[in-house]
Amino acid sequence: MVSKTEEARVAVLENQVDNGGGGAWEYLCLVRKLKLRRSDKVLKHGLSILNDPGKRSSLGPEEWTLYEQVAIAAMDCQCLDVAKDCIKVLQKRFPGSKRVGKLEAMILEAKGSWAEAEKAYSSLLEDNPLDQVILKRTATMAKAQGNLSGAIELLNKYLEIYMADQDAWRELGEIYVSLQMYKQAAFCYEELILSQPTNPLYHLAYADVLYTLGGLENLQSAKKYYASATDLTGGKNTRALFGICLCTHAIGQLTKGRNKEDKDSSELQSLAATALEKDYKRIAPAKLSSLTSTLKSLNLSS
């Protein structure tokens, strides 16, 4: 996870480079190190270095790393001609390289040549069956073709090997949600919360799934996770605040006031409703009346 200090550094460098203040190489290195997706910026500033013989030669061996970085960014931006040019340079410099072979397979994938891309990936996996990048690409390719069951199978196999990959767990969880496989999605978000307990987005996604599953126990748990998401964001997550209100109403409907824990949590309900009304007054005053009506229908207006 990128720290606030790193985020600030990236923002400063990005602004500096965009305004012609130099530091393009430092910016590109930082983006690569933090594994950020800034494809348009990488393409623009990377090409400005590669197209300048003096700047390019000053990089030494890092020149080839930049060609690779720009090729991937170009594919992401659908600038396939630029990607092809970068890959040709790398092919000439590193003939027979498996690393360059990955780029060749990726550009086939970017072109939508699925059969050829799958064949290329399969060939690379024969040499290294546990290649992390290629295993993830095959799952991504299955999803891109609409083969969600295939993507699920590939991601599950991948996660048996690379259990700490949060991006893969998140991707798998989102696919399960899209297929209304909420129990399986819940397991994915549980894994994410275990690995990053201070990430409010994971708490929020898990709460959404539990609320959708329904039932008293799930609703009570959902309310707790909406509350934790609210706490982790300093009370500034509107979705989490709404979640607390909706869970409170649903629990009340199920228990009809018989649940002691629900009675004890009236303060949390009131705080959530008050925070929502305060946010709407500040951000969307024209919609405040609609919010007030909604809260009243839930018996939660502050």
Which tens digits make up the pLDDT trace of 46-80?
A: 999 999 999 999 999 999 999 999 999 999 999 99
Quote the CA–CA distance of 166 and 209 in Å, as a whole number.
18
CATH topology of 1-125 equal to that of 130-196? yes
DSSP string of 227-271?
HHHHHHTTT--HHHHHHHHHHHHHHHHHHTT--HHHHHTHHHHHH
Predicted local confidence at residue 291, as pLDDT? 85
Type of residue numbered 154? L
Predicted local confidence at residue 186, as pLDDT? 98
Domain at 1-125: CATH code: 1.25.40
- Is the pLDDT score of 270 beyond 70? yes
Quote the CA–CA distance of 281 and 279 in Å, as a whole number.
5
What is the average pLDDT across 151-179? Answer: 97
pLDDT digits (tens, 9 = 90+) for 90-138: 999 999 999 999 999 999 999 999 999 999 999 999 999 999 999 999 9
> Domain map of the chain by residue range?
1-125, 130-196, 212-255+267-301
Predicted local confidence at residue 260, as pLDDT? 59
Quote the CA–CA distance of 69 and 59 in Å, as a whole number.
14
- Tell me the HSE value of 35 on the side-chain side, using a 13 A CA sphere: 3
If pLDDT is split at 50, 70 and 90, which confidence band does 264 have?
Answer: low
If pLDDT is split at 50, 70 and 90, which confidence band does 147 have?
Answer: very high
Distance from chain centroid for Cα 34: 14
Which top CATH class is 130-196? Answer: mainly alpha
If pLDDT is split at 50, 70 and 90, which confidence band does 261 have?
Answer: low
